[in-house]
Chain A
Amino acid sequence: MGNFVANEGLSIFVILVWLGINGFLFVNFYMAFLVDRWFYTRVLLGHALSWARAPAACLNFNCMLILLPVCRNLLSLLRGSIQCCSRTAARQLDRNLTFHKLVAYMIAFHTAVHIIAHLFNFEFFMDAQLNRSVDLLPFVLSDIGNGDNASFLNPIRSNETSPTIVMFTTIAGLTGVAITLALILIITSSMEVIRRSYFEVFWYTHHLFIIFFIGLVFHGYGRIVRGQTPLSLQTNNPNKCADHFHDWGKNESGCAVPVFAGNPPGTWQWVVGPMFLYVCERLVRLYRSHQKVVITKVVMHPSKTLELQMKKKGFSMEVGQYVFIQCPSVSRLEWHPFTLTSAPEEDYFSAHIRIVGDWTQALYEACGGDKPEQQEAWKLPKMAIDGPFGTASEDVFRYEVVMLVGAGIGVTPFASILKSVWYKRIQNNQDVFTKKIYFYWLCPETQAFEWFADLLQSLERQMADKDMADFLSYNIYLTRWKETEAAHFRVHHEAENDPITGLKQKTLYGKPNWDNEFTNIAAKHPKSKVGVFLCGPPQLGKSLEKQCLSHSEADVKFIFNKENF
């Protein structure tokens, strides 16, 4: 149980605090509209008023929060400064996208409650105008303010209209429709299916958030939610005067005609800070993108992988970080994230890009990949880089024992780590805190091995030379194969080097037995914290997380870190 707390404790705490604040705001603002000032408003609307205002307050809070987890540069800055104090707190910042999604769901939920409550409000307001009898308090209240058009209570001013028309002729109604539509389009294009397969649709539609925030700020400008003014409360006490509404304004009744006004719009106070931070974030990204980036080398690897080696003045990175790459000649608006595969010790930085879609294909052609002869240096396209941004892999060297698990292309952050290990330990002979690395690579096809296999081969050779063969223990698992390939493996089973990778360590077939692996590692390294790093599909993440929790006994703790885009 204790290891569960170590792995998940801070996340759960943050979520509970966030839910608590939501609950508190909801109840607080619900009760705030049950006071005398809103007495006459409640005569018309009942509790629907509170049901509309309470989620509005929660919406203010959540719209303030939603921009913050996507300020990547700000988060990197925070992460760097917290890291010295608490590794756990820094890890929490890796879950920024999860938090962004949670807040988005909460916004959707509160929007639904808010809209449904306002549907009732509109209906009640309309009812009050339609039942035109001076014996009914709602009608009397609705009639107030016809002269000056400022002291009215009922925003629906006549009976010759309908709620739909009123909605389209008030600021609140128009902005409400606009921002709700923007929200719905953002949510439907952010579904996992769309996001993973058609990233551009997701990215461009998501920019509707600009409309969302502008509409949100102007939503309350019409001041259509109106309560009695404090001045009027002195001349017309609702508790005493409500029943004698026939006598309002007459001298002997002691009750003047009540006067109403709306609250000044308050949303801007909540969102102006985060909006400013986000604008700064985008400006930082813009500035960084204009710094000159030079492609020093282009390498075409088999299995449609393009390696770009680049240099940029003043660029510095840590292991396992990622950058956003833009190529203006391919697309002016698209920025795509790629993990850096070079080590900080190298004098260039590189990314291995798999060619899977429009943008990557166009980039490949722009770099001369489809031409038989080499591209001249000045013909290579201009590039822009934003980053580097930190991820979980930065923490690798803070653990004494480390398990690295990469699935398919998810091995890229670990390429950076292994290279860095090689530079530190073997070339510079530095003493690293990390004493043992267990590396697992799960791959569905043989072709994807090539560029990474070269790296492993050189590492293997170097380690054998320096007699350090047991520093790095790596296991490569081929998870899928064809019948013909299987025959080839069987025949070459006895060969000294592996038939697929050419490495001395044989490729294993099928999926690893995680239970065994974790048990063995726990037995070999008692009394230590083992960092488990994964870059791969969510199902693998779940099973590894379960293994971490179940194998963390008294003295051995497995801490799970996942990286995902």
Chain B
Amino acid sequence: MGKIEWAMWANEQALASGLILLTGGIVGVAGQFRGWEFAAYSVAAGVFVCLLEYPRGKRAKGTSVERTGQYCFTVCVKAFGPLTRNYYVRAFLHAAICVPGGFMLATVLGCVCLGIASLIYLAAAIRGEHWEPILPRKEVRKPVAESIKNPPQNPPPRPPPEMRRKQAKDLESAAYDNPISVTADE
């Protein structure tokens, strides 16, 4: 298990927890359960966690797979700098967010799942991982070499016309090898 990047799994778990918190919160508010204030909080917390966790981070090794349409989220999350880059911050943030969910049955599941995600993020942070945004690579065009400035003024040198005309008597010497194979258009 040496090469596992825990943050990848923590990210999946946190995103799932956000959705579960959100669903539990919606049920609590829509059904007007007792303690619906906690449910309303969970809706907001769920949305926040989903927005934070939607953009996948760049993997330290290997190719990173983006989630669909995550570019705008990446830009927003990146704007918070060290707060979102550091996984210790995320671990404690999730641990703090999940606590109020534990006070109401509808959101308890989301609370526990987010708590587990927080623990996995803690493991990731201890191993020194951090969040890198996946940004599109800017294509750097190689600078054109100095010598290529002007197009050639003269045609390329050719053998004198006597040689170019096909000699009917001496076909062997008149023939020349085309370096690229030519196929007739059929």
Contacts and interface: CB of A to CB of B under 8 A. Distances in A.
Contacts of B116: 181, 185
A163 interface: yes
Contact of A180 (B4, B23, B59, B109): B109
Contacts of A200: 1, 4
A164 B103 contact: yes
B8 A188 contact: no
Contact of B13 (A120, A163, A180, A188): A188
A357 B12 CA distance: 22
Contacts of B16: 184, 187-188
Interface stretch (A87-95, A111-119, A215-223): A111-119
Residue from B3, B9, B12 with most neighbouring chain A CB atoms (10 Å): B9
A122 B108 CA distance: 13
Interface string A173-202: 000010011001101110101100110110
B125 interface: no
Nearest to A180: B109
B34 A126 contact: yes
Contacts, number: 76
Given A181-B112, A181-B113, A358 B3 contact: yes
Interface in A149-187: 162-164, 167, 177, 180-181, 184-185, 187
Dominant secondary structure at the A interface? helix
A3 to B, nearest CB: 32
Interface residues of A, number: 29
Q: Say which size band chain B's interface belongs to.
A: 20 to 34
A198 B9 contact: yes
A115 B2 CA distance: 37
B71 to A, nearest CB: 18
A119 B9 contact: no
B109 A112 contact: no
Interface in B102-161: 102-106, 108-109, 112-113, 116
Contacts of B20: 184
A371 to B, nearest CB: 22
B27 interface: yes
B23 A112 contact: yes
B33 A123 contact: yes
Contacts of A167: 105, 108
Residue from A119, A180, A181, A184 with most neighbouring chain B CB atoms (10 Å): A119
A191 B113 contact: no
B65 interface: yes
B76 to A, nearest CB: 22
> What 9 A-B pairs have minimum CB-CB distances, sorted nearest first?
A163-B105, A188-B12, A198-B4, A188-B13, A164-B105, A200-B1, A358-B2, A123-B33, A119-B106
